Amino acid sequence: MARKLPLFDESISPHARNMAQLGALIRNRRAESATRIDDAADMLGVSKDVLSRLENGKTIGLDKLYKILDGMGLSLLVVDKQSAQRVLHELDNPSDT
């Protein structure tokens, strides 16, 4: 039986505080491109299990995480919490800048 594609949710914040939120971001990015998980895994050069684990908030190796992020056109930015709050505010309120 064919799996249903996840639905894209434009309200998901780009701020991932834990693996579950990071997984939701990855799943949402895949939903945005309307790509099935097995097709995405093949395109990214990882197993379906690895991609599924990440999307479900489970840990995977950093090498695989960076490979997935790069293949999906995403990057990981590490900043102090105060800077993160400022960036998130600017993303949510582009007219304030």
| CATH code assigned at 51 | 1.10.260.40
Please provide the average confidence, as pLDDT, over all residues in the chain.
Answer: 92
**Enclosing domain of residue 70:** 19-96
Domain count, the chain: 1
pLDDT in tens, 61-87: 999 999 999 999 999 989 999 998 998
The rounded distance, in Å, linking the Cα atoms of 97 and 93 is 8
In a domain, 42, yes or no: yes
Inside any domain, residue 8: no
Domain assignment present for residue 1? The answer is no
**Rounded CA separation 77/38 (Å):** 27
Taking only the tens place, the pLDDT of each residue in 49-61 is 999 999 999 999 9
Overall size of the chain counted in residues: 97
